[in-house]
Chains A and B, each alone.
Chain A
Amino acid sequence: MQLAEQLRQARSKKDILLMTHLVLGYPSFAVNREVIHQMVANGVDVIELQIPFSEPMADGPMIIKANQESIANGTKVADCLAFAEEMAAQYDIPFLFMTYYNIPFKFGLRDFLHKAKEVGIRGFIIPDLPPEEGEEYLRLAREFDLAPIQIFAPTSTEERMRTLAGHGNGFIYCVARRGVTGSRTEFDASFDAYLSRCRQATDLPLAVGFGISSREDIQILTGKADLAVIGTATIRLVEEKGPEAVGPFIAGLR
């Protein structure tokens, strides 16, 4: 089943879906394993696996540090692919790769998408690859039936949103605010107006990320978005309280 259809079916049983994120190899693959186990056991619906890159331009301090330390620990792209294969075989939820374009570009775009498909990955989030630069990527994603997740921003015009949606599949990642990952988001009237613009531009499920960290945030998003994305919050939690804190945190979100 295609990712978008699978998410729609899941959504029909839950008020809002949860997508979580982690940086592969940070603090270690062993901890990643434990964190994913707790996420899935507590009902997470989709997991975004970030392959670390040395120049994570769209990320904030917490995720920058995670990228840097993972690379310093010796994490290789091949390790990330092997780990993804293990997770996708073990758990019956969709896994996505999030990374910056240089990682697939350097690997060889066709080889990377082919390999990702083989290991059971369902789609990609590549924040520095707009569709204008991603013609081959979009073509290969169709060929391998992988979802090239497109990103909406509060600065996107309606026309731009429709263009992006035309290239997207799986769902649309709506960046909740300007700035980088990891700081607070204000859910005010302009946020609501933004989300309704997003809704009008596409039939694909809408995921909202950037600054989502609490039960209150999830409640605000319920009814407005199909997926809530928890990124930096769990990385911070693992850092402060260890991987065992992730389960109760996720369980308390909905």
Chain B
Amino acid sequence: MNKPGYFGQWGGAYIPEVLYETFRELREVYTTAKSDPAFWQEYLALMGSYSCRPTPLTHADNLSRHFGGAQIFIKREDLNHTGAHKANNVMGQGLLVKRMGKTRVIAETGAGQHGVACATMAAKFGFACTIYMGEEDVHRQRPNVFWMEKLGATVVPVTTGSRTLKDAINEAFRDWVSNMDTTHYVMGTVCGPHPFPEMVAWFQSIIGQEAHKQILATHGKLPARIYACVGGGSNAMGIFQAFLPDTEVELIGVEAGGKGLDTGQHAARLASQDASPGVAQGYKTMFLQDSDGQMRDTHSVAAGLDYIGVSPLLTDLWEKGRVRFAAATDQEVMAALDLTIKKEGIIPALESTHAFVQAFKEAGELDRDQAIIINQSGRGDKDIFTIAHAFDDPSWKDFIRKKGEEYAAR
């Protein structure tokens, strides 16, 4: 018998005592909402009118022809309001915050997508909002900081630790232990203490529920494989869940290979040999850590994948052999992004492009009457600064230089 909040041997709720009651209340409101069909109807209506659900499943016929194998379909989570699948989770948790009667939300963010989504939800529902973001990510993702602030959120640059996503999570918890009476912590991914992994996966399951119907409607049968990038794992769990019972559908999670798995500068927990079981940030999973249990620095061109841990749900599915893991390097990501833009006129986020890399490696192995789905978790055009920088684009750099001179002259 599994303890609640455990997936195989992974998960749990390793929380300080001061949050015990807060988590009891959260579990209760989540469990009640989950068993209330009206709640899910309210959620679907909200996502249909405020975001762009159902998001389309696009047949990428040029890319399919290019690789000469499987028919490539792209699940377009980039077309959600705020440009990523993160909207699914924040709007769901926003509805729970209303039920709990709290007035303030806090969140961590890496790439800034979850921060923008959370600030948007707070603006719509009238909550105060504070976003914790690693100082390094604040620099990497300045446009998202601009939008969070415009949306009325306070953005706090986190200067502890490695100044990235994991440190932003620690800071959000430190805020929460002081302000739990008024404040809900909107965790952005399927990690952290129970019930977050399960609850966030529930809100994200809308992706797979749609994709399951859509692929049967357009392709007439189930896909051979589904690819999703994995940082914490929320978009992957979102699309995978609906296909878990269909054992003929192979599920592939793609992690950040950074500068290469052999360099140590990556964020591949399950696709590399470098992670080991650990307990941090409130849950048990495979972490990138040293032999003493100290967390290591990770690297990825995509801030949203640059994280030490991975969802306990995915670690369990990996251990059981249901989800296969691969890694894509920064360099492979830039090549796949360029190809996708040129062939399909679609601009995936750097995070999402990791899934494209692995799909492109494998599409040619399959027959033309087979289908694969790539979950495009977010759009890249709003990350123009990051992507232009990653492409090392000369005319963009020239533009920035001139813009800088223009501001300096004032």
Contacts and interface: CB of A to CB of B under 8 A. Distances in A.
A105 B278 contact: yes
B15 interface: yes
B275 to A, nearest CB: 12
Contact of B17 (A53, A102, A156): A156
B284 to A, nearest CB: 8
A19 interface: no
Contact of B280 (A55, A153, A178): A55
Given A102-B293, A178-B178, A151 B161 contact: no
Interface in A117-167: 127-130, 132-133, 151-157, 160, 164
A101 interface: yes
B405 interface: no
Contacts of B289: 102, 106
Contact of A128 (B14, B166, B178, B295): B14
Contacts of A130: 13-15, 17, 20
Contact of B281 (A55, A60, A175): A55
B12 interface: yes
Main secondary structure of the interface of B (DSSP, over half): mixed
B13 A132 contact: yes
A82 interface: no
Main secondary structure of the interface of A (DSSP, over half): loop
Most B CB contacts (10 A, CB to CB) among A54, A130, A132, A154 go to A54
Interface residues of A, number: 40
A71 B160 contact: no
Contact of B160 (A68, A76, A129, A153): A68
Interface string B196-212: 00000000000000000
Contacts of A193: none
A179 B181 CA distance: 12
Contacts of B19: 155
Interface stretch (B93-101, B169-177, B238-246): B169-177
B156 to A, nearest CB: 13
Contact of A155 (B3, B12, B180, B292): B180
Contact of A55 (B161, B277, B291): B161
Contacts of B293: 53, 77, 102-103, 105-107
B174 A133 contact: no
A58 B177 contact: yes
A133 B20 contact: no
Contacts of A154: 18
Contacts of A251: none
Given A57-B170, A102-B289, A105-B293, A178 B180 contact: yes
A96 interface: no
A142 to B, nearest CB: 20
B279 A54 contact: no
B20 A68 contact: no
Nearest to A100: B280
B278 A153 contact: no
Interface string B12-41: 111111111110000000000000000000
A134 to B, nearest CB: 9
Contact of B18 (A107, A153, A164): A153
Given A76-B292, A105-B279, A179-B178, A155 B14 contact: no
Interface in A80-103: 100-103
A55 B14 contact: no
10 contacts: A54-B295, A57-B173, A58-B177, A77-B293, A103-B293, A107-B293, A128-B14, A130-B14, A151-B17, A179-B177
Interface of B: 3, 12-22, 160-161, 166, 170, 173-174, 177-180, 276-282, 287, 289, 291-295
3 closest residue pairs by CB, A with B: A106-B293, A153-B18, A179-B178
